[in-house]
């Protein structure tokens, strides 16, 4: 008898052999394309502040401290939405949840365009974060539950084009061009046509399901909404406020730590009958290992995506549009890496664990090459290296996704997807926070070292200043003006050289991350494998066996 595929993620068990056939090739293609397009909306929302933060702040006359909330509100809402999407899926079903999320993002994007002040703009950014989390977890969970494991490689690669490639490579270039040509509002307004198309396609691929009665984990929700926003604030704003030199950062760190520890204890408590996140999925060896790797990879991916545009803007003095465009070739190779990794896993039946070292090795090579950049570097120097970086990250992330989520049971999928994406997002925020602090400290050290070698009576300094003064004098400046301009120019050269040294060390630090992380990950992998074998051995030894007299004994 042929099993029938369920109508929704929580409607019953999926029979992997028939899920794809039940959906049909045409509907399957439309479904994958629609969900990938939907997650592109979140990619655009994620990077808009990095590209056009000054424009957004200026539109509502916000100061620097106030404008920071435009970014904070988005990430606070998103990280809170990731772990609670499993509850929303059980309540609403996938189709209804995605429809609500799409409408929410469209309304919020239009609201950003029509916003009349900072408060309304911050609220719209928070709604974008919530909607993005629901689309990311809901869409990926549906794909894992609806298609058989043997087809997940290429399917997840296509989905990752929107989830990984867009926010880390393609969107900065696209947004930079649009902001320069029109305005930052035009970037967010792209969400409206994309959302309308996906809304029209959803009824064709997902049958409706009546809402279910669920019992919310109110304590878990409260702890998440206290702990995660506090942690996001500390990570995003800590560097600017001197970390633990500021009382606010100290208090928020204590609040975040207490709330999140309490959340974990409550989720594992036998008194909690309906946990918000089923942390017992960490008993799966592959999920626990993949979660750890995704955290490290998120650190490297989002950290490098933060460093590269900053390097081109601050050191190479590229215009904003060119700084975004420098990542465009990398976007193409990220996509190539994603599709290559997915195809090798799906068609060649390669183990995703085998692909991970290749992805890490290629990424480390790219970071090592970038660490040799200088003030004279340009597109010909950066593009090949960034293309290499993109290919490595594409290989790595699909392998991690399949390792982490491929073997979860049906009811565990939403919890696993939410936790997996939360780990990657928090790893990225920690990576950006670390690198921002690293750059600040190393810049001061590098400048001090350079200035100490530029004494007033140094022949090299005197010769350089004289040459610069002559250049300014030839442009019609008076001797006094030329001297002041020459000193200012030399100061800019020192700052530029110090910044170049600092960025090079930051690129090397990402290599060192994997140098230290890989042995730790191997130890984690070995420990998990050992624990898994002991558990299985204990389970087998506890099975009842039939004694010689026919009675059941425990072996």
Percent of the chain scoring above 90 in pLDDT: 15
Examine the domain organization and report whether 247 and 395 are in the same domain: no
170-217 pLDDT tens trace: 667 777 677 766 777 777 788 899 899 999 988 888 877 777 777 888
Average pLDDT of the residues in 245-261: 93
- pLDDT bin (cut points 50, 70, 90) of residue 532 is low
3-state secondary structure of 284: coil
Examine the domain organization and report whether 73 and 28 are in the same domain: yes
For the chain, what is the domain count?
4
Examine the domain organization and report whether 182 and 198 are in the same domain: yes
- Residue 473 domain boundaries: 445-506
C-alpha distances in Å from residue 352, one per residue of 149, 290, 343, 400, 499: 13, 10, 11, 7, 38
CATH number at residue 111: 1.20.1250.20
Examine the domain organization and report whether 296 and 344 are in the same domain: yes
- Give the other-Cβ count within 10 Å of 260's Cβ: 17
Examine the domain organization and report whether 341 and 400 are in the same domain: yes
* 225: CB partners within 8 A, 6+ apart: 80
Nearest to 135 by CA among 171, 94, 166, 170: 94
Q: Does residue 16 fall inside a structural domain? A: no
Examine the domain organization and report whether 438 and 521 are in the same domain: yes
Which is more confident, 540 or 240?
240
> What pLDDT score does 21 carry?
43
Q: Does residue 258 fall inside a structural domain? A: yes
C-alpha distances in Å from residue 230, one per residue of 194, 250, 463: 33, 11, 53
Residue 303: both structure tokens together:
């950290």
139-182 pLDDT tens trace: 889 988 888 888 888 888 888 888 877 776 666 777 767 776 67
Give exposure, 199-211, as e/b (b: 16+ Cβ within 10 Å): bebbeebbeebee
Which is more confident, 366 or 183?
366
Q: Does residue 387 fall inside a structural domain? A: yes
Nearest to 172 by CA among 393, 370, 394, 322: 322
What is the Cα Rg of the chain in Å?
Answer: 26
Burial of residue 536 (CB within 10 Å: 0-12, 13-18, 19+) is: exposed
Q: Are 415 and 278 in contact (CB under 8 A)?
A: yes
Examine the domain organization and report whether 112 and 206 are in the same domain: yes
> What pLDDT score does 311 carry?
85
* pLDDT > 80? residue 336: yes
Q: Are 292 and 424 in contact (CB under 8 A)?
A: no
Which is more confident, 319 or 267?
267
Q: Does residue 547 fall inside a structural domain? A: no
Examine the domain organization and report whether 311 and 457 are in the same domain: no
- Tokens 């003030």 sit at which residue? 375
Examine the domain organization and report whether 457 and 528 are in the same domain: no
Q: Are 413 and 9 in contact (CB under 8 A)?
A: yes
Examine the domain organization and report whether 496 and 436 are in the same domain: no
Residue 405: both structure tokens together:
């989520």
- pLDDT bin (cut points 50, 70, 90) of residue 275 is confident
3-state secondary structure of 283: helix
Residue 21: both structure tokens together:
């056939």
Q: Does residue 539 fall inside a structural domain? A: no
Residue 345: both structure tokens together:
């896993």
Examine the domain organization and report whether 387 and 512 are in the same domain: yes
**How far apart (Å, rounded) are the C-alpha atoms in residues 280 and 275?**
10
Average pLDDT of the residues in 382-397: 88
Q: Does residue 6 fall inside a structural domain? A: no
* pLDDT > 90? residue 256: yes
* pLDDT > 60? residue 352: yes
């Amino acid at each position: 008898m042929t099993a029938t595929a369920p109508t929704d993620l929580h409607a019953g068990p999926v029979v992997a052999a028939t899920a794809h056939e039940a959906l049909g090739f045409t509907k399957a293609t439309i479904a994958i394309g629609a969900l990938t397009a939907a997650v592109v909306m979140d990619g655009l929302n994620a990077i808009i502040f990095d590209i056009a933060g000054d424009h957004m702040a200026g539109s509502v006359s916000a100061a620097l401290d106030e404008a920071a909330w435009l970014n904070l509100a988005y990430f606070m809402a998103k990280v809170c939405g990731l772990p609670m999407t499993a509850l929303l899926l059980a309540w609403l079903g996938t189709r209804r949840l995605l429809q609500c999320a799409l409408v929410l993002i469209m309304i919020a994007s239009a609201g950003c365009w029509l916003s009349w002040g900072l408060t309304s703009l911050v609220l719209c950014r928070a709604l974008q974060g919530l909607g993005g989390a629901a689309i990311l977890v809901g869409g990926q969970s549906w794909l894992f539950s609806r298609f058989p494991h043997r087809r997940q490689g290429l399917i997840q690669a296509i989905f990752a084009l929107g989830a990984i490639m867009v926010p880390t490579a393609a969107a900065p270039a696209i947004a930079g061009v649009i902001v320069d040509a029109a305005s930052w509002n035009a970037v967010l307004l792209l969400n409206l046509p994309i959302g309308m198309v996906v809304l029209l396609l959803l009824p064709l691929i997902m049958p409706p399901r009546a809402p279910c009665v669920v019992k919310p984990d109110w304590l878990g929700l409260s702890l998440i909404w206290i702990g995660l926003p506090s942690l996001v604030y500390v990570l995003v704003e800590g560097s600017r406020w001197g970390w633990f030199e500021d009382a606010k950062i100290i208090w928020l760190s204590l609040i975040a730590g207490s709330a999140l520890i309490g959340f974990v204890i409550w989720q594992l408590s036998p008194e909690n009958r309906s946990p918000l996140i089923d942390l017992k999925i960490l008993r799966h060896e592959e999920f626990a290992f993949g979660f750890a790797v995704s955290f490290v990879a998120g650190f490297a991916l989002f950290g490098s995506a933060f460093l590269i545009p900053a390097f081109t803007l601050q050191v190479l003095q590229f215009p904003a549009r060119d700084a975004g465009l420098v990542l465009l070739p990398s976007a193409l190779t990220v996509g190539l890496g994603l599709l290559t990794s997915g195809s090798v896993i799906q068609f060649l039946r390669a183990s995703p664990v085998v692909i991970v070292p290749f992805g890490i090795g290629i990424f480390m090579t790219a970071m090592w090459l970038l660490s040799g950049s200088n003030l004279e570097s340009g597109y010909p120097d950066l593009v090949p290296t960034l293309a290499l970086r993109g290919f490595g990250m594409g290989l790595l992330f699909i392998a991690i996704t399949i390792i982490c989520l491929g073997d979860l049971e049906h009811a565990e999928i939403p919890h696993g997807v939410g936790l997996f994406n939360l780990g990657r997002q928090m790893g990225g925020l920690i990576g950006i926070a670390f690198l921002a602090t690293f750059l600040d400290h190393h810049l001061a050290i590098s400048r001090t070292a350079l200035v100490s070698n530029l004494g007033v009576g140094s022949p090299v300094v005197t010769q350089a200043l004289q040459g610069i003064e002559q250049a300014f004098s030839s442009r019609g400046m008076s001797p006094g003006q030329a001297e002041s301009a020459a000193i200012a120019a030399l100061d800019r050269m020192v700052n530029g050289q110090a910044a170049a040294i600092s960025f090079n060390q930051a690129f090397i630090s990402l290599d060192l991350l994997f140098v230290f992380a890989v042995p730790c990950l191997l130890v984690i992998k070995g420990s998990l494998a050992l624990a898994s074998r002991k558990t299985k051995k204990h389970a087998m030894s506890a099975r009842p066996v039939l004694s010689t007299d026919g009675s059941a004994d425990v072996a």
